[in-house]
Structure 1
Protein backbone atom coordinates (compact mmCIF):
# COMPACT_ATOMS: atom_id res chain seq x y z
CA UNK A 1 0.00 0.00 0.00
CA UNK A 2 2.82 2.40 0.92
CA UNK A 3 4.48 1.75 -2.43
CA UNK A 4 1.21 2.52 -4.22
CA UNK A 5 0.82 5.77 -2.25
CA UNK A 6 4.42 6.68 -3.06
CA UNK A 7 3.88 5.96 -6.76
CA UNK A 8 0.74 8.09 -6.84
CA UNK A 9 2.58 10.92 -5.13
CA UNK A 10 5.41 10.74 -7.66
CA UNK A 11 2.94 10.66 -10.54
CA UNK A 12 1.14 13.74 -9.19
CA UNK A 13 4.46 15.55 -8.85
CA UNK A 14 5.48 14.74 -12.44
CA UNK A 15 2.10 15.84 -13.77
CA UNK A 16 2.43 19.11 -11.86
CA UNK A 17 5.90 19.76 -13.34
CA UNK A 18 4.62 18.97 -16.84
CA UNK A 19 1.70 21.38 -16.45
CA UNK A 20 4.04 24.14 -15.30
CA UNK A 21 6.36 23.52 -18.23
CA UNK A 22 3.49 23.84 -20.68
CA UNK A 23 2.69 27.25 -19.25
CA UNK A 24 6.23 28.51 -19.90
CA UNK A 25 6.70 30.38 -23.20
CA UNK A 26 9.23 29.14 -25.73
CA UNK A 27 12.39 31.13 -25.21
CA UNK A 28 15.35 31.82 -27.45
CA UNK A 29 18.61 32.76 -25.78
CA UNK A 30 19.29 36.48 -26.19
CA UNK A 31 22.84 35.48 -27.15
CA UNK A 32 21.66 33.45 -30.15
CA UNK A 33 21.29 36.46 -32.36
CA UNK A 34 22.88 34.79 -35.37
CA UNK A 35 24.88 31.73 -36.42
CA UNK A 36 28.18 33.39 -35.50
CA UNK A 37 27.05 33.70 -31.89
CA UNK A 38 25.89 30.08 -31.80
CA UNK A 39 29.30 28.88 -33.03
CA UNK A 40 31.10 31.10 -30.52
CA UNK A 41 29.02 29.72 -27.64
CA UNK A 42 29.22 26.10 -28.85
CA UNK A 43 32.46 25.59 -30.83
CA UNK A 44 31.51 21.97 -31.58
CA UNK A 45 28.10 22.90 -33.02
CA UNK A 46 27.39 21.20 -36.34
CA UNK A 47 25.87 22.74 -39.47
CA UNK A 48 22.08 22.69 -39.57
CA UNK A 49 18.89 24.65 -38.96
CA UNK A 50 18.82 26.82 -35.83
CA UNK A 51 16.43 29.35 -34.34
CA UNK A 52 17.90 32.86 -34.16
CA UNK A 53 16.61 36.21 -32.98
CA UNK A 54 18.45 39.36 -34.07
CA UNK A 55 18.27 42.37 -31.73
CA UNK A 56 15.01 44.27 -32.12
CA UNK A 57 13.23 41.37 -33.86
CA UNK A 58 10.11 40.31 -31.96
CA UNK A 59 9.61 36.91 -33.57
CA UNK A 60 12.54 34.43 -33.78
CA UNK A 61 13.02 32.65 -37.08
CA UNK A 62 14.86 29.63 -38.43
CA UNK A 63 17.98 29.81 -40.58
CA UNK A 64 20.57 27.36 -41.82
CA UNK A 65 23.93 27.78 -40.08
CA UNK A 66 27.07 26.71 -41.91
CA UNK A 67 29.57 25.98 -39.15
CA UNK A 68 33.11 26.46 -40.46
CA UNK A 69 36.51 26.75 -38.75
CA UNK A 70 36.36 30.52 -39.33
CA UNK A 71 32.98 30.86 -37.59
CA UNK A 72 29.26 30.33 -37.95
CA UNK A 73 27.74 31.64 -41.17
CA UNK A 74 24.04 32.41 -41.66
CA UNK A 75 23.09 31.03 -45.09
CA UNK A 76 20.53 33.13 -46.94
CA UNK A 77 20.76 31.67 -50.45
CA UNK A 78 21.48 28.23 -51.87
CA UNK A 79 21.03 26.91 -55.40
CA UNK A 80 22.02 23.48 -56.68
CA UNK A 81 19.38 22.57 -59.25
CA UNK A 82 16.16 23.55 -60.93
CA UNK A 83 13.63 22.20 -58.44
CA UNK A 84 13.08 25.59 -56.77
CA UNK A 85 12.19 28.45 -59.12
CA UNK A 86 13.75 31.82 -58.36
CA UNK A 87 11.52 33.63 -60.86
CA UNK A 88 9.38 35.17 -58.12
CA UNK A 89 7.73 38.44 -57.21
CA UNK A 90 8.63 41.00 -54.56
CA UNK A 91 6.55 39.44 -51.76
CA UNK A 92 8.32 36.08 -52.14
CA UNK A 93 11.79 37.63 -52.10
CA UNK A 94 10.86 39.73 -49.10
CA UNK A 95 9.53 36.81 -47.05
CA UNK A 96 11.66 33.94 -48.35
CA UNK A 97 10.98 30.61 -50.03
CA UNK A 98 12.32 27.08 -50.43
CA UNK A 99 13.55 24.51 -47.90
CA UNK A 100 16.27 25.69 -45.48
CA UNK A 101 18.14 22.39 -45.79
CA UNK A 102 18.07 22.55 -49.58
CA UNK A 103 17.71 25.27 -52.22
CA UNK A 104 16.18 28.39 -50.69
CA UNK A 105 16.11 32.15 -50.22
CA UNK A 106 15.90 33.22 -46.57
CA UNK A 107 14.16 36.52 -47.28
CA UNK A 108 15.22 40.15 -47.65
CA UNK A 109 13.43 41.19 -44.47
CA UNK A 110 15.27 38.61 -42.36
CA UNK A 111 18.68 39.46 -43.85
CA UNK A 112 18.04 43.16 -43.35
CA UNK A 113 17.03 42.53 -39.71
CA UNK A 114 20.41 40.89 -39.13
CA UNK A 115 22.57 43.50 -40.83
CA UNK A 116 20.85 46.61 -39.46
CA UNK A 117 22.53 45.97 -36.09
CA UNK A 118 25.03 48.85 -36.00
CA UNK A 119 27.06 47.26 -33.21
CA UNK A 120 28.23 44.49 -35.53
CA UNK A 121 29.83 44.47 -38.94
CA UNK A 122 29.07 41.74 -41.44
CA UNK A 123 31.03 39.79 -44.03
CA UNK A 124 29.26 38.43 -47.10
CA UNK A 125 30.63 35.25 -48.69
CA UNK A 126 29.53 34.02 -52.11
CA UNK A 127 30.53 30.44 -52.98
CA UNK A 128 30.37 29.32 -56.60
CA UNK A 129 30.61 25.93 -58.33
CA UNK A 130 30.91 25.32 -62.08
CA UNK A 131 29.95 22.27 -64.13
CA UNK A 132 33.56 21.11 -64.53
CA UNK A 133 34.31 20.56 -60.84
CA UNK A 134 35.80 23.99 -60.17
CA UNK A 135 34.90 26.28 -57.30
CA UNK A 136 35.58 29.91 -56.37
CA UNK A 137 34.52 32.45 -53.75
CA UNK A 138 34.08 36.17 -53.22
CA UNK A 139 33.98 37.86 -49.82
CA UNK A 140 32.88 41.41 -49.07
CA UNK A 141 33.40 43.28 -45.82
CA UNK A 142 30.83 45.67 -44.33
CA UNK A 143 27.83 44.01 -45.96
CA UNK A 144 24.37 45.30 -45.11
CA UNK A 145 20.95 45.86 -46.64
CA UNK A 146 18.93 49.06 -46.48
CA UNK A 147 15.33 49.23 -45.31
CA UNK A 148 12.37 48.04 -47.35
CA UNK A 149 11.54 51.68 -48.05
CA UNK A 150 14.99 51.91 -49.68
CA UNK A 151 14.26 48.68 -51.64
CA UNK A 152 16.74 46.73 -49.48
CA UNK A 153 19.63 48.62 -51.06
CA UNK A 154 22.89 46.66 -51.28
CA UNK A 155 26.00 47.90 -49.46
CA UNK A 156 29.32 46.03 -49.69
CA UNK A 157 32.85 47.05 -48.77
CA UNK A 158 36.30 45.69 -49.58
CA UNK A 159 36.46 42.56 -51.74
CA UNK A 160 38.72 39.51 -51.49
CA UNK A 161 38.60 36.10 -53.15
CA UNK A 162 39.38 34.28 -56.39
CA UNK A 163 36.05 34.69 -58.19
CA UNK A 164 36.53 38.35 -59.03
CA UNK A 165 34.50 41.36 -57.88
CA UNK A 166 31.45 40.82 -60.10
CA UNK A 167 29.25 43.05 -57.94
CA UNK A 168 31.32 46.08 -58.91
CA UNK A 169 31.47 44.78 -62.44
CA UNK A 170 33.58 43.14 -65.10
CA UNK A 171 33.71 46.51 -66.90
CA UNK A 172 33.10 50.16 -65.81
CA UNK A 173 29.60 51.53 -65.36
CA UNK A 174 27.76 48.46 -64.06
CA UNK A 175 28.55 48.63 -60.34
CA UNK A 176 25.63 47.02 -58.46
CA UNK A 177 26.75 48.32 -55.07
CA UNK A 178 24.27 50.92 -53.81
CA UNK A 179 21.31 49.71 -55.89
CA UNK A 180 17.97 48.51 -54.56
CA UNK A 181 16.60 45.01 -55.13
CA UNK A 182 14.53 44.41 -58.28
CA UNK A 183 11.99 41.72 -59.10
CA UNK A 184 9.76 40.99 -62.08
CA UNK A 185 7.02 43.13 -60.49
CA UNK A 186 9.17 45.88 -58.92
CA UNK A 187 11.89 47.60 -60.95
CA UNK A 188 14.69 49.34 -59.04
CA UNK A 189 17.53 48.96 -61.54
CA UNK A 190 19.44 51.67 -63.38
CA UNK A 191 18.11 51.02 -66.89
CA UNK A 192 15.82 53.47 -68.64
CA UNK A 193 16.75 51.86 -70.97
CA UNK A 194 20.15 50.13 -71.08
CA UNK A 195 21.52 49.67 -74.58
CA UNK A 196 23.33 46.41 -75.38
CA UNK A 197 24.29 46.53 -79.04
CA UNK A 198 20.97 46.81 -80.85
CA UNK A 199 18.95 45.70 -77.79
CA UNK A 200 17.31 48.14 -75.35
CA UNK A 201 16.56 46.77 -71.88
CA UNK A 202 14.21 48.58 -69.49
CA UNK A 203 13.87 45.82 -66.92
CA UNK A 204 16.86 43.67 -65.94
CA UNK A 205 14.74 41.17 -63.99
CA UNK A 206 12.78 40.24 -67.10
CA UNK A 207 15.94 39.80 -69.18
CA UNK A 208 18.28 38.21 -66.61
CA UNK A 209 15.67 36.38 -64.55
CA UNK A 210 14.75 36.32 -60.88
CA UNK A 211 15.35 39.11 -58.39
CA UNK A 212 18.68 40.85 -57.78
CA UNK A 213 20.46 44.13 -57.06
CA UNK A 214 20.71 45.12 -60.71
CA UNK A 215 22.36 48.28 -61.96
CA UNK A 216 22.86 48.42 -65.74
CA UNK A 217 22.23 45.33 -65.54
CA UNK A 218 25.50 44.08 -64.02
CA UNK A 219 27.85 41.11 -64.14
CA UNK A 220 26.58 39.33 -61.00
CA UNK A 221 23.16 37.67 -61.15
CA UNK A 222 22.56 34.38 -59.34
CA UNK A 223 18.77 34.10 -59.53
CA UNK A 224 18.08 33.38 -63.17
CA UNK A 225 16.98 30.06 -64.62
CA UNK A 226 19.14 27.08 -63.61
CA UNK A 227 20.67 25.16 -66.54
CA UNK A 228 22.13 21.63 -66.40
CA UNK A 229 25.52 20.60 -67.81
CA UNK A 230 25.53 20.63 -71.59
CA UNK A 231 22.84 23.32 -71.67
CA UNK A 232 24.50 26.00 -69.55
CA UNK A 233 26.34 28.26 -72.03
CA UNK A 234 24.91 31.14 -74.02
CA UNK A 235 21.88 31.91 -71.89
CA UNK A 236 21.24 35.54 -70.92
CA UNK A 237 19.15 34.24 -68.05
CA UNK A 238 21.19 32.01 -65.80
CA UNK A 239 23.41 31.97 -62.72
CA UNK A 240 26.12 34.45 -63.68
CA UNK A 241 29.33 35.65 -62.01
CA UNK A 242 31.04 37.09 -65.03
CA UNK A 243 34.38 37.96 -63.41
CA UNK A 244 34.91 34.22 -62.93
CA UNK A 245 33.05 32.77 -65.94
CA UNK A 246 32.82 35.50 -68.55
CA UNK A 247 32.69 36.03 -72.30
CA UNK A 248 29.88 33.76 -73.56
CA UNK A 249 27.24 33.71 -70.77
CA UNK A 250 28.01 30.77 -68.46
CA UNK A 251 25.31 29.50 -66.06
CA UNK A 252 26.85 28.10 -62.86
CA UNK A 253 26.07 24.71 -61.36
CA UNK A 254 25.60 25.84 -57.76
CA UNK A 255 25.80 28.92 -55.54
CA UNK A 256 25.62 29.82 -51.88
CA UNK A 257 25.42 33.21 -50.15
CA UNK A 258 25.97 33.60 -46.43
CA UNK A 259 27.01 36.15 -43.82
CA UNK A 260 28.83 36.20 -40.50
CA UNK A 261 29.16 38.91 -37.90
CA UNK A 262 32.60 40.27 -37.05
Structure 2
Protein backbone atom coordinates (compact mmCIF):
# COMPACT_ATOMS: atom_id res chain seq x y z
CA UNK A 1 0.00 0.00 0.00
CA UNK A 2 3.01 2.32 -0.75
CA UNK A 3 1.41 5.68 0.00
CA UNK A 4 -0.31 4.40 3.15
CA UNK A 5 2.65 2.66 4.79
CA UNK A 6 4.60 3.54 7.94
CA UNK A 7 4.18 6.90 9.65
CA UNK A 8 2.14 8.35 6.81
CA UNK A 9 -0.47 5.62 7.05
CA UNK A 10 -0.77 5.89 10.83
CA UNK A 11 -1.04 9.66 10.73
CA UNK A 12 -3.62 9.47 7.98
CA UNK A 13 -5.73 7.05 10.01
CA UNK A 14 -5.67 9.39 13.01
CA UNK A 15 -6.58 12.36 10.86
CA UNK A 16 -9.45 10.47 9.28
CA UNK A 17 -10.83 9.44 12.68
CA UNK A 18 -10.56 13.01 13.96
CA UNK A 19 -12.20 14.39 10.85
CA UNK A 20 -15.14 12.01 11.09
CA UNK A 21 -15.61 12.75 14.81
CA UNK A 22 -15.53 16.52 14.42
CA UNK A 23 -17.88 16.64 11.46
CA UNK A 24 -20.52 14.26 12.79
CA UNK A 25 -21.91 16.44 15.58
CA UNK A 26 -23.24 14.15 18.30
CA UNK A 27 -22.47 11.06 16.26
CA UNK A 28 -26.09 9.94 15.79
CA UNK A 29 -26.88 11.08 12.26
CA UNK A 30 -23.61 12.08 10.64
CA UNK A 31 -24.91 15.61 10.05
CA UNK A 32 -22.36 18.41 10.56
CA UNK A 33 -22.71 20.56 13.71
CA UNK A 34 -23.16 23.82 11.78
CA UNK A 35 -22.95 25.33 8.30
CA UNK A 36 -19.24 26.11 8.53
CA UNK A 37 -18.50 22.40 7.97
CA UNK A 38 -20.58 21.99 4.81
CA UNK A 39 -17.94 22.93 2.25
CA UNK A 40 -15.44 20.50 3.76
CA UNK A 41 -17.21 17.66 1.98
CA UNK A 42 -19.00 19.76 -0.64
CA UNK A 43 -16.38 22.24 -1.90
CA UNK A 44 -18.80 23.50 -4.53
CA UNK A 45 -21.71 23.79 -2.11
CA UNK A 46 -23.91 26.85 -2.49
CA UNK A 47 -26.30 28.72 -0.20
CA UNK A 48 -29.34 26.64 0.63
CA UNK A 49 -31.09 24.36 3.12
CA UNK A 50 -28.96 21.71 4.86
CA UNK A 51 -29.31 19.35 7.83
CA UNK A 52 -27.09 19.98 10.86
CA UNK A 53 -26.82 18.49 14.34
CA UNK A 54 -25.06 20.58 17.03
CA UNK A 55 -22.83 18.74 19.47
CA UNK A 56 -24.92 17.22 22.25
CA UNK A 57 -28.23 17.80 20.42
CA UNK A 58 -30.45 14.73 20.17
CA UNK A 59 -31.56 15.12 16.55
CA UNK A 60 -30.69 16.86 13.29
CA UNK A 61 -32.71 19.72 11.83
CA UNK A 62 -32.81 21.95 8.77
CA UNK A 63 -31.11 25.33 8.60
CA UNK A 64 -30.36 27.79 5.83
CA UNK A 65 -26.62 28.06 5.15
CA UNK A 66 -25.49 31.37 3.68
CA UNK A 67 -22.22 30.99 1.76
CA UNK A 68 -20.55 34.07 0.36
CA UNK A 69 -17.62 36.44 0.43
CA UNK A 70 -18.16 37.12 4.15
CA UNK A 71 -17.87 33.44 5.08
CA UNK A 72 -20.23 30.55 5.78
CA UNK A 73 -23.10 31.36 8.14
CA UNK A 74 -26.03 29.59 9.80
CA UNK A 75 -29.16 31.75 9.49
CA UNK A 76 -31.23 31.99 12.70
CA UNK A 77 -33.75 34.66 11.66
CA UNK A 78 -35.02 36.16 8.40
CA UNK A 79 -37.72 38.74 7.61
CA UNK A 80 -38.69 39.91 4.13
CA UNK A 81 -42.43 40.51 4.45
CA UNK A 82 -45.56 39.92 6.46
CA UNK A 83 -46.41 36.36 5.43
CA UNK A 84 -45.21 34.85 8.72
CA UNK A 85 -46.61 36.23 12.00
CA UNK A 86 -44.02 36.83 14.73
CA UNK A 87 -46.36 37.80 17.60
CA UNK A 88 -46.20 34.28 19.06
CA UNK A 89 -45.95 32.64 22.46
CA UNK A 90 -42.97 31.18 24.29
CA UNK A 91 -43.34 27.64 22.92
CA UNK A 92 -43.18 28.86 19.31
CA UNK A 93 -40.03 30.91 19.90
CA UNK A 94 -38.49 28.01 21.78
CA UNK A 95 -39.03 25.50 18.96
CA UNK A 96 -38.95 27.77 15.91
CA UNK A 97 -41.45 28.63 13.18
CA UNK A 98 -41.76 29.80 9.58
CA UNK A 99 -40.13 28.49 6.42
CA UNK A 100 -36.39 27.80 6.58
CA UNK A 101 -35.69 29.05 3.05
CA UNK A 102 -37.83 32.16 3.59
CA UNK A 103 -39.05 34.09 6.65
CA UNK A 104 -38.44 32.18 9.87
CA UNK A 105 -37.17 32.03 13.43
CA UNK A 106 -34.89 29.01 13.93
CA UNK A 107 -35.77 28.44 17.60
CA UNK A 108 -34.17 29.38 20.91
CA UNK A 109 -33.51 25.78 21.90
CA UNK A 110 -31.53 25.18 18.70
CA UNK A 111 -29.65 28.47 18.92
CA UNK A 112 -28.77 27.75 22.55
CA UNK A 113 -27.47 24.28 21.66
CA UNK A 114 -25.35 25.64 18.84
CA UNK A 115 -23.76 28.41 20.89
CA UNK A 116 -23.11 26.31 24.00
CA UNK A 117 -19.67 25.29 22.74
CA UNK A 118 -17.04 27.25 20.83
CA UNK A 119 -17.03 31.00 20.33
CA UNK A 120 -19.53 32.49 17.89
CA UNK A 121 -20.05 35.66 15.92
CA UNK A 122 -23.51 37.13 15.27
CA UNK A 123 -24.15 39.16 12.14
CA UNK A 124 -27.28 41.29 11.73
CA UNK A 125 -28.09 42.52 8.21
CA UNK A 126 -30.62 45.31 7.68
CA UNK A 127 -32.20 46.64 4.49
CA UNK A 128 -34.31 49.79 4.15
CA UNK A 129 -36.97 50.80 1.63
CA UNK A 130 -34.66 53.31 -0.06
CA UNK A 131 -32.15 50.76 -1.34
CA UNK A 132 -29.70 51.10 1.54
CA UNK A 133 -28.32 48.50 3.91
CA UNK A 134 -26.25 48.22 7.08
CA UNK A 135 -24.85 45.52 9.32
CA UNK A 136 -23.85 44.86 12.91
CA UNK A 137 -21.52 42.10 14.09
CA UNK A 138 -20.98 40.88 17.64
CA UNK A 139 -18.21 38.60 18.82
CA UNK A 140 -18.84 35.99 21.53
CA UNK A 141 -22.56 35.65 20.79
CA UNK A 142 -24.27 33.15 23.03
CA UNK A 143 -27.82 32.25 24.11
CA UNK A 144 -28.26 30.49 27.46
CA UNK A 145 -30.56 27.56 28.08
CA UNK A 146 -34.22 27.76 29.10
CA UNK A 147 -33.36 27.93 32.81
CA UNK A 148 -31.82 31.37 32.08
CA UNK A 149 -34.80 32.39 29.92
CA UNK A 150 -32.41 32.04 26.97
CA UNK A 151 -30.28 34.91 28.22
CA UNK A 152 -28.45 36.90 25.53
CA UNK A 153 -24.70 37.46 25.70
CA UNK A 154 -22.67 39.45 23.16
CA UNK A 155 -19.12 40.77 23.06
CA UNK A 156 -17.35 43.38 20.97
CA UNK A 157 -19.36 45.19 18.29
CA UNK A 158 -18.36 46.32 14.81
CA UNK A 159 -20.42 47.47 11.86
CA UNK A 160 -22.34 50.30 10.20
CA UNK A 161 -25.76 49.96 11.87
CA UNK A 162 -24.72 50.98 15.39
CA UNK A 163 -24.76 48.96 18.61
CA UNK A 164 -28.51 48.81 19.20
CA UNK A 165 -28.26 45.78 21.47
CA UNK A 166 -26.43 47.90 24.05
CA UNK A 167 -28.83 50.73 23.35
CA UNK A 168 -29.26 54.10 21.71
CA UNK A 169 -29.40 55.66 25.19
CA UNK A 170 -28.48 54.79 28.77
CA UNK A 171 -30.32 52.09 30.71
CA UNK A 172 -31.62 49.88 27.88
CA UNK A 173 -28.70 47.45 27.38
CA UNK A 174 -30.19 44.14 26.19
CA UNK A 175 -26.93 42.24 26.74
CA UNK A 176 -27.48 39.84 29.64
CA UNK A 177 -31.29 39.91 29.48
CA UNK A 178 -33.61 36.94 29.09
CA UNK A 179 -36.04 36.49 26.22
CA UNK A 180 -39.63 37.80 26.44
CA UNK A 181 -42.78 36.82 24.56
CA UNK A 182 -46.45 37.80 24.74
CA UNK A 183 -47.01 35.14 27.43
CA UNK A 184 -43.70 35.42 29.33
CA UNK A 185 -42.31 38.75 30.51
CA UNK A 186 -38.60 39.16 31.34
CA UNK A 187 -38.13 42.77 30.19
CA UNK A 188 -37.48 44.51 33.53
CA UNK A 189 -40.43 46.93 33.25
CA UNK A 190 -42.30 47.58 36.49
CA UNK A 191 -43.45 49.73 34.74
CA UNK A 192 -41.22 51.39 32.13
CA UNK A 193 -41.88 55.10 31.63
CA UNK A 194 -41.63 56.74 28.21
CA UNK A 195 -42.51 60.37 28.82
CA UNK A 196 -45.97 60.23 30.34
CA UNK A 197 -46.65 56.71 29.06
CA UNK A 198 -46.26 53.77 31.48
CA UNK A 199 -45.54 50.38 29.91
CA UNK A 200 -45.98 47.17 31.92
CA UNK A 201 -44.76 44.82 29.18
CA UNK A 202 -42.69 45.60 26.10
CA UNK A 203 -44.32 42.85 24.06
CA UNK A 204 -47.72 44.49 24.59
CA UNK A 205 -46.84 47.18 22.06
CA UNK A 206 -43.56 46.09 20.43
CA UNK A 207 -45.05 42.71 19.46
CA UNK A 208 -42.86 39.71 18.79
CA UNK A 209 -40.43 37.94 21.10
CA UNK A 210 -37.06 39.52 21.86
CA UNK A 211 -34.42 40.18 24.53
CA UNK A 212 -36.14 43.31 25.80
CA UNK A 213 -34.38 45.43 28.41
CA UNK A 214 -36.87 48.08 29.44
CA UNK A 215 -37.85 47.63 25.81
CA UNK A 216 -34.48 48.78 24.47
CA UNK A 217 -33.30 49.87 21.02
CA UNK A 218 -33.43 46.62 19.04
CA UNK A 219 -36.31 44.36 18.05
CA UNK A 220 -36.25 42.53 14.73
CA UNK A 221 -39.23 40.28 15.52
CA UNK A 222 -41.96 42.91 15.61
CA UNK A 223 -44.67 43.61 13.04
CA UNK A 224 -43.53 43.99 9.42
CA UNK A 225 -44.80 47.20 7.79
CA UNK A 226 -44.89 47.88 4.03
CA UNK A 227 -43.30 50.97 2.49
CA UNK A 228 -45.19 54.14 3.36
CA UNK A 229 -46.39 52.72 6.67
CA UNK A 230 -43.02 51.85 8.17
CA UNK A 231 -42.12 55.04 10.07
CA UNK A 232 -43.33 56.01 13.53
CA UNK A 233 -44.59 52.66 14.80
CA UNK A 234 -42.99 51.20 17.91
CA UNK A 235 -44.11 47.72 16.86
CA UNK A 236 -41.91 47.49 13.75
CA UNK A 237 -38.54 45.90 12.95
CA UNK A 238 -36.32 48.30 14.86
CA UNK A 239 -32.60 48.95 15.10
CA UNK A 240 -32.74 52.44 16.56
CA UNK A 241 -29.01 53.20 16.26
CA UNK A 242 -29.41 52.82 12.49
CA UNK A 243 -32.46 54.93 11.64
CA UNK A 244 -34.10 57.74 13.52
CA UNK A 245 -35.14 59.75 15.30
CA UNK A 246 -38.65 58.41 14.56
CA UNK A 247 -38.88 54.60 14.75
CA UNK A 248 -38.09 53.15 11.32
CA UNK A 249 -39.25 49.63 10.48
CA UNK A 250 -36.80 47.80 8.20
CA UNK A 251 -37.77 46.32 4.86
CA UNK A 252 -35.81 43.14 5.55
CA UNK A 253 -33.61 41.66 8.26
CA UNK A 254 -31.37 38.65 8.68
CA UNK A 255 -29.55 37.25 11.71
CA UNK A 256 -26.88 34.59 11.23
CA UNK A 257 -23.99 33.09 13.15
CA UNK A 258 -20.61 31.53 12.42
CA UNK A 259 -17.85 30.08 14.62
CA UNK A 260 -15.52 32.86 15.70
CA UNK A 261 -12.51 30.57 15.93
CA UNK A 262 -12.02 28.35 12.88
CA UNK A 263 -8.95 26.36 14.02
CA UNK A 264 -10.92 23.15 14.48
CA UNK A 265 -12.65 23.55 11.13
CA UNK A 266 -9.30 24.29 9.48
CA UNK A 267 -7.76 21.16 11.03
CA UNK A 268 -10.40 18.75 9.80
CA UNK A 269 -10.43 20.48 6.41
CA UNK A 270 -6.66 19.97 6.25
CA UNK A 271 -6.98 16.32 7.29
CA UNK A 272 -9.56 15.67 4.60
CA UNK A 273 -7.34 17.30 1.97
CA UNK A 274 -4.42 15.16 3.14
CA UNK A 275 -6.59 12.05 2.91
CA UNK A 276 -7.47 12.84 -0.69
CA UNK A 277 -3.81 13.42 -1.55
CA UNK A 278 -2.69 10.17 0.07
CA UNK A 279 -5.42 8.15 -1.61
CA UNK A 280 -4.43 9.59 -4.97
CA UNK A 281 -0.90 8.22 -4.46
CA UNK A 282 -2.03 4.62 -3.89
CA UNK A 283 -0.71 2.45 -6.75
CA UNK A 284 -3.43 0.96 -8.90
Shorter-chain TM-score: what band?
0.7 to 0.9
In structure 2, runs of 5+ residues without a counterpart are: 1-26, 261-284
Task: Give the secondary-structure state (helix, strand or coil) at the position aligned to 2:203.
Answer: helix
Greater RCO (CA < 8 Å, at least 6 residues apart): 2
Query: 2:97 maps to what in 1?
Result: 97
Q: Which residue among 132, 135, 160 is the counterpart of 1:134?
A: 132
Query: 1:11 maps to what in 2?
Result: none
Q: CA deviation at 1:27?
A: 6.5
Alignment of 1:48-59 (within 5 A): 48-59=48-59
Return structure 1 stretches of 4+ with deviation > 6 angstroms. Answer: none
> How many aligned residue pairs are there?
234
Q: Which has the higher helix share?
A: 2
| Pair 1:70 & 2:70 matched | yes
In structure 1, runs of 5+ residues without a counterpart are: 1-25
- In the superposition, the TM-score normalised over structure 1's length comes to 0.87
Residue-by-residue CA offset, 1:141-163 (whole Å, 9 max, x unaligned): 00000110100000000000000
- In the superposition, the TM-score normalised over structure 2's length comes to 0.80
Is the Cα–Cα contact under 8 Å of residues 28 and 51 in structure 1 kept in the other structure? no
Q: CA deviation at 1:72?
A: 1.5
| Pair 1:28 & 2:29 matched | yes
Aligned equivalents of 2:201, 2:92: Cα separation in 1 = 19
Residue-by-residue CA offset, 1:31-63 (whole Å, 9 max, x unaligned): x11001113443421001100011111111111
| Pair 1:229 & 2:233 matched | no
Task: Give the secondary-structure state (helix, strand or coil) at the position aligned to 1:149.
Answer: helix
Query: 2:38 maps to what in 1?
Result: 38
Q: CA deviation at 1:69?
A: 2.7
Aligned equivalents of 2:106, 2:167: Cα separation in 1 = 25
Aligned equivalents of 2:158, 2:51: Cα separation in 1 = 30
Q: CA deviation at 1:207?
A: 1.5
Task: Give the secondary-structure state (helix, strand or coil) at the position aligned to 2:198.
Answer: strand
Aligned equivalents of 2:161, 2:29: Cα separation in 1 = 37
Aligned equivalents of 1:245, 1:123: Cα separation in 2 = 23
Asked which structure has the greater CA Rg, the reply is: 1
